[in-house]
Amino acid sequence: MSCDPPVTKWACEYCTYENWPSSLKCTMCRGSKPLLGEDIYRLCDESPSPTLISPVSEPSLASGPTDQDTVIHSNGKWECCACTYLNWPKSLYCAQCRSPRPVTTTNLHEHLQPLRIDPSNELASAAFGGGSLRIMTSPSIEKKDIKEAENDLRGRMSDKSISSKNVGCSKWMCSVCTYENWPKSMKCIMCGTVHGGSNNGAASGKGTASTRSSLPSPEREVSVVSSARSSREGSQVTLIEDKCSVKSKRNQAVNESATSTNSPNNCEYERRLKQIRQRMRDVDWAWLNACLGVVEGDVNPVEAYLSSGGDPARQLTPSEVTLLNRPSAFDTGHTLVHLAIRFHREDMLAMLLSQIEGSGSGVKRVPSYVAPDLAADIRRHVASAVRQRKGSFPCYFIAEITSFALPADVEDLPPMVQEQLFEELLDRDAQQQLESEPAALNWSLEVTVRLGSRLYALWNRSAGDCLLDSAMQATWGVFDRDNTLRRALADSLHQGGHVFYPRWKEYEASQASMLQFSLDEGQWEEDWAGLLSLASQPGSSLEQLHVFALAHILRRPIIVYGVKYVKSFRGEALGYARFEGVYLPLLWEPSFCVRSPLALGYTRGHFSALVPMEPYSRLENGAMANNLGAGELQVTFLPLMDREHKLLPVHFLTQPELGHEESILRQWMDVCVTEGGILVAQQQLHKRPLLVAQMLEEWLNHYRRLAQVANAPFTRPAPVQDYSSDGGDSDDE
């Protein structure tokens, strides 16, 4: 009876555990088996595992060789390095703990070499068209494994082809970085390689353009035939792909817009233009011609569009901007008013604003629109006259003082031309509201007729700068387009806030006490900050404090004639209007200011300049009129009472000043009482500045020419037409 020789186990040098001779690592502590007395050449595995494809993980060259060795027993099974379970040779994962089968350093290169794609084959057709796919393998790979790898690769590419077809576009793969670009991209978004070639391909000159653009890199081959990475790596790759996808979509939109207009093959672009032209109507063509007319300075197409009933507030659509094909001039959403402002067409702007609902009826032709160059010179002159007072009250002021009035030459025009002048110059709606019951303007016949001091409401822009525009109109006859007064107003309130704030707070607190409420200091400061913000924003509406500060900038009192209540478009009273009254430059010394006041009108959130007409006495003696010196003044009278003979409120008075309003008015203005007992202030009309006189003369010449045409005799017999009074005018006329 024979017995088997005893099995000699080896003891682990770390935990002294006795392991089987075939164990290369300790079962307990995973320590390596000592090499004493062992043949190191016999330990080398001569037949590595033929399985190459892993569905979840893949070997990586960047990670380097692994330090874990695969234990292969005589029956071909491999031992799991985590739980020592014996798995079948073709198992890529442990059946117990799902740990991946480790890759040894000796067969790592065989995992990366077996699968090769033949460069002569077109991978793009195999990936997206389902063509044949050739796989180059090493002789050590079994045919079954080769077939499984080929089926797996073809299945993956088939799925990718289906998904690409579902999206509706086939991307092209960069031959350098393998990034998948959109079809219209001429260059790779990631590396800039031109579509259809690569650096290597250009150098070698081998292969067609389609073949070179479809060949993947070795890393691409490994990623296609190998398994997916771990969950953590997979999430990182997904995040990167999402970012690249967003970037590719953004670049695709840019490329599509560029190729639609700049590419040689613009058939789609021309087809779209043809469809747009076919949908255009006559009114649409008139609208586009009007837009071109504003840009080019031609008023005829603009007048033709408006006379045909076109909407002046119509906006450009994207298709119309495409049809005009001038991106530097036209933008989506622009109206004729936007174009007139952008290209400084002030004469057209007046005509367009007059056509918009709520801006008055008829065409407006103010002096600054007739002579835009002179108006620009006047605004520059006013900007150069702005100064800042040194000392404890750093407020800005205008050094030169003037008052605007309508020239008396208007009365020499024929009645029809004179009526047209007033229609194009005045704001009829504001005039009617101020003169309607209860009248706030021109309510005294003694002042308007006997003293010749009727006030006219000039037409003003409907923007949020109406207060500053009306103040500039009442002084220089132009609008504050350059925001000269607004900048001076904002800077004065910011730098001189420590002087304005106490008086404003005291006045507002007294007004609040009358309404039975009060505010704490935080609310006062918040309201003050809001007022400063409004002053700094062009186009924003202004409050009483801004009128008070404007009186200091102009260095003269401001009298506001306004409606008692703010009403809606339906005539409903919305609230009490607090603007009416007198605003004095109380923070200046009286000797530093001018005693001649300005008159403004306030109606439903809108300010208008109220100006008189020059007394006709200036025209009685032409020589005397032309030789008027600086001290020879014309005077008009502005009422300081309402129609009930109540004194107009004086705003921003302190508690000790209340009750002494009349004496304060006499201190700051030249005040007198008429025979009817009306307290009035004298407004002095100085000699016009040269630029203002030239602007008014050019403006009057327009109506003088109209008067000459109306009074000119016929040079030849007029054609026989029916001009009956009851028949109306004919179409030919």
Rg of the Cα trace of the chain?
Answer: 45
Question: Is beta strand 598-603 parallel, antiparallel or unpaired with respect to 558-562?
Answer: parallel
466 is catalytic: yes
Amino acid 253 reads A
Instruction: Pinpoint the alpha helices (H) of 356-445.
Output: 367-370, 372-384, 415-425, 428-435, 445
Residues 623 and 610: their CA atoms lie apart, in Å, by 29
- Closest by CA position to 349, among listed 314, 310, 302, 308: 302
Out of 466, 546, 552, 593, which one is annotated catalytic? 466
Residues 524 and 509: their CA atoms lie apart, in Å, by 9
- Closest by CA position to 636, among listed 662, 673, 611: 611
Half-sphere exposure (Cβ direction) of 154: Cα atoms closer than 13 Å: 14
Residues 403 and 591: their CA atoms lie apart, in Å, by 19
Strand segments, DSSP code E, in 555-621 are: 558-562, 565-567, 573-576, 581-583, 598-603, 606-611
Instruction: Count Cβ atoms within 10 A of the Cβ of residue 644 and give its class: 0-12 exposed, 13-18 middle, 19 or more buried.
Output: exposed
In this structure, the number of other CB atoms found within 10 A of the CB of residue 54 comes to: 18
Q: Residues 24, 33: contact at Cβ < 8 Å?
A: yes
Q: Residues 558, 597: contact at Cβ < 8 Å?
A: yes
> Residues 6 or more apart from 108 whose CB is under 8 A from it?
59, 65, 66
Tokens representing 602 are: 């306030």
- Closest by CA position to 586, among listed 557, 625, 543, 627: 557
Q: 218-225 vs 143-167: helix axis angle to the nearest 10?
A: 100
188 is catalytic: no
DSSP string, 712-730: PPPSSPPP-----TTT---
DSSP string, 250-278: HHHHHHHHHHHHHSS--HHHHHHHHHHHH
- Closest by CA position to 700, among listed 634, 596, 619: 619
Out of 546, 552, 606, 651, which one is annotated catalytic? 606
Q: Residues 614, 408: contact at Cβ < 8 Å?
A: yes
- Closest by CA position to 311, among listed 336, 289, 294: 336
3 state SS of 596: coil
- Closest by CA position to 642, among listed 492, 444, 449: 444
Instruction: Count Cβ atoms within 10 A of the Cβ of residue 584 and give its class: 0-12 exposed, 13-18 middle, 19 or more buried.
Output: buried
* Active site (catalytic) residues: 466, 606
